[in-house]
Amino acid sequence: MNTLEAQKAVIELLSLVYSKAAVVVGGQNAPMPSVPYVVVSFGAATKAPGQSAFLNVVDGKEVHTFLMQFTCTVELVTLGTPQGDGMQPLNTAVADLMQLGLFLNSEYAGDFMYDNDIDVSTSGDCLPIVNLRNGVSVPFRAQQTLTVSFYQTLEDMALIRSPGTPYTQTDSGADAGLAQEEAGYFTGAKIEYKE
């Protein structure tokens, strides 16, 4: 699994929980969806602190597996629950988003995370967002930080390519030739002793 695949799994998991809301990625140049909606903003993936890579040799190639982590912020935007004519709706944003933390501990979520080789857990408190947004009528918002862990497996010298797949050149400028570099490996040696 790589970072993009882990992010896709998080979006799919959030879409299961909030099936009646649009789930969008923060920072994308897209129109604001109708309320309710969920915005997920991803942080950078890093190797988990204090964790070493697992090394295997498969078909003569070194394969390294790293425990990776990233955080993401989930923001729920909702209109709340109507209270009756002329009354302010009840702010349910924090309570609704706190349900996500409970869901992540469920057997259903556990099965999903197992099938997708990720672990997702809440980090810190679920907080209301009370600052105003100009020109937007969105009364209730809350945010929760999630920590996502996954294993990323890479092979050969440069540790760019996933095993069994060719490196796909992107517009990032990364060198596809470097991804093809292979580490030398031998399975035996003959030692001759001379006096």
Q: Which residue has the tokens 């969105």?
A: 138
Residue 91 has pLDDT above 90, yes or no: no
Q: Hey, is 38 helix, strand or coil?
A: strand
Q: Hey, is 150 helix, strand or coil?
A: strand
Q: Is 45 in contact with 71 (CB distance < 8 Å)? A: no
Residue 193 has pLDDT above 60, yes or no: yes
Q: Is 100 in contact with 125 (CB distance < 8 Å)? A: no
Taking only Cα atoms into account, the Rg of the chain, rounded to an integer number of angstroms, comes to 23
Residue 195 has pLDDT above 80, yes or no: no
d(CA 35, CA 57): 51
- Residue 147, Ramachandran bin (φ over 0: left; ψ between -120 and 50: alpha; else beta): beta
Q: Which amino acid is at 92?
A: T
d(CA 174, CA 153): 18
In this prediction, residue 191 carries a pLDDT of: 76
d(CA 67, CA 64): 10
Give the pLDDT confidence of 15-61 residue by residue, as tens digits: 999 999 999 998 767 788 888 999 999 999 888 777 777 777 777 77
Q: Is 186 in contact with 161 (CB distance < 8 Å)? A: no
> Which of 71-75, 79-83, 96-100, 112-116 is least confident?
79-83
Give the pLDDT confidence of 113-155 residue by residue, as tens digits: 999 999 999 999 999 987 665 555 557 999 999 999 999 887 7
CB within 8 A of 176, min separation 6: which ones?
A: 167, 169
What is the mean predicted confidence (pLDDT) over 80-102?
87
In this prediction, residue 188 carries a pLDDT of: 64
d(CA 60, CA 186): 8
How far, rounded to the nearest angstrom, does the alpha carbon of residue 153 sit from its chain's CA centroid?
16
Residue 7 backbone dihedrals phi, psi, to 5 degrees: -65, -40
Residue 95 has pLDDT above 60, yes or no: yes
